[in-house]
């Protein structure tokens, strides 16, 4: 079974990347998704495209869910017998610990695809706010997508590439738009020295389930307020919601809000918000009022 770990900071484009590669996959593939929240969203997003997706929500697979990761992989192997397993750790999990868990599970060598946001990477890396996370991700990646180049100027893109190259000169760098990979997935290295880093960040996380249909304009306004910092410092917010205009996927990454119509009705409308100093009570008032 070929195994690929797809890593990257919150909102870098991991789920989009996986959706892209699965469109052209010929081998039987299962995706294991770990969302950093009490309820998962990415698993349903992938499943909507006909992908066999298994979720491990509510925790981080590089620490609190490491045993669950191992047993889930064993269950996937037995139930689906996939030719390829794609693992999407949460955007706050370091790949070094995931690689160690895979070794414990007896999976063998895995290839690692790292994804960075060309717009945000240089500033975030130089600020040091994510500690050794980027170091861990880049040092352990075989190929690195410098994603969202359509949103960044050449100076930002070149700076990101210089920083990545200085950390891991052996990694293959590929510029991408919408996380499209223009070359084949890498083969796992015959030998890998796993570079250790921090396991994950201790972000606050709030999760809400919305039992009523929400007005599209209202939830759009809430996401704009989230992006503007009204409820704390939000690194990522995402939601699948049945709105008055139909089912929608909402996404907020570092002050940027995206809305995309979802391909089917959402069975369980929900929102996950990840960040620091989150105002849980204010969020609960605005999201759950009237339920």
Q: Where residue 63 sits, what CATH number does that domain have?
A: 3.40.50.300
Q: Is residue 62 part of a domain?
A: yes
**Which residues form the domain of 14?**
2-175
Final residue before a domain boundary, out of 175, 193, 213? 175
CATH of the domain at 264: 3.30.1220.10
Note whether 133 and 261 are same-domain residues.
no
* Measured distance CA(139)–CA(131) in Å, rounded: 14
**208 and 148 share a domain?**
no
37 lies in some domain: yes
In a domain, 257, yes or no: yes
The answer as to whether 194 is a domain residue is no
Q: Are residues 243 and 158 in the same domain?
A: no
Render pLDDT for 42-87 as a digit per residue (tens, 0 to 9). Answer: 666 666 555 677 777 555 555 555 677 788 888 888 888 889 899 9
Last residue in a domain, options 157, 175, 193: 175
CB contact set of 87 (below 8 Å; sequence gap of 6+): 3, 4, 5, 6, 31, 32, 34, 61, 98, 102, 110
Total domains in the fold of the chain: 2
In a domain, 134, yes or no: yes
57 in a structural domain: yes
Given a contact cutoff of 8 angstroms between Cβ atoms, the answer to whether 245 and 218 are in contact is: no
Statement to judge: residues 168 and 228 lie in one domain: no
Say whether both 231 and 151 belong to one domain: no
- In 3-state terms, what secondary structure has residue 5? strand
Same domain, 145 and 256: no
pTM as predicted = 0.76
In a domain, 191, yes or no: no
| Segment 218-267, tens digit of pLDDT | 999 999 999 999 999 888 898 999 999 999 999 998 788 999 998 888 87
β-bridge mates for residue 236, sequence order: 253, 274
């Amino acid at each position: 079974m070929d195994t690929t770990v797809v890593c990257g900071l919150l909102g870098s484009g991991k789920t989009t990347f996986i959706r892209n590669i699965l469109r052209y996959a010929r081998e039987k593939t299962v995706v294991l998704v770990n969302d950093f929240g009490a309820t998962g969203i990415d698993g349903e997003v992938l499943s909507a495209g006909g992908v066999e997706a298994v979720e491990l929500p509510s925790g981080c697979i590089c620490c609190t869910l490491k045993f669950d990761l191992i047993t889930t992989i064993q269950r996937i192997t037995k139930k689906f017998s996939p030719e390829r397993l794609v693992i999407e750790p949460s955007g706050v999990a370091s790949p070094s610990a995931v690689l160690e868990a895979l070794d414990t599970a007896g999976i063998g060598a895995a290839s690692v695809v790292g994804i960075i946001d060309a717009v945000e990477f240089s500033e975030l890396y130089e600020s040091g706010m994510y500690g050794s996370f980027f170091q861990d991700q880049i040092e352990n990646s075989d190929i690195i997508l410098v994603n969202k180049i359509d949103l960044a100027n050449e100076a930002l893109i070149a700076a990101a590439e210089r920083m990545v190259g200085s950390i891991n000169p052996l990694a293959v760098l590929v510029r991408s738009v919408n996380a499209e990979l223009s070359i084949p997935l890498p083969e796992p290295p015959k030998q890998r020295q796993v570079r250790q880093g921090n396991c994950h960040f201790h972000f606050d996380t709030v999760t809400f389930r919305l039992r009523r249909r929400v007005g599209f304009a209202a939830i759009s306004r809430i996401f704009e307020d989230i992006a503007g910092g009204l409820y704390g410092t939000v690194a990522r917010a995402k939601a699948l919601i049945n709105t008055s205009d139909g089912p929608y996927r909402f996404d907020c990454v570092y002050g940027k809000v995206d809305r995309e119509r979802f391909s089917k009705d959402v069975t369980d409308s929900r929102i996950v918000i990840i960040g620091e100093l989150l105002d849980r009570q204010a969020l609960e008032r605005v999201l759950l009022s009237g339920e």
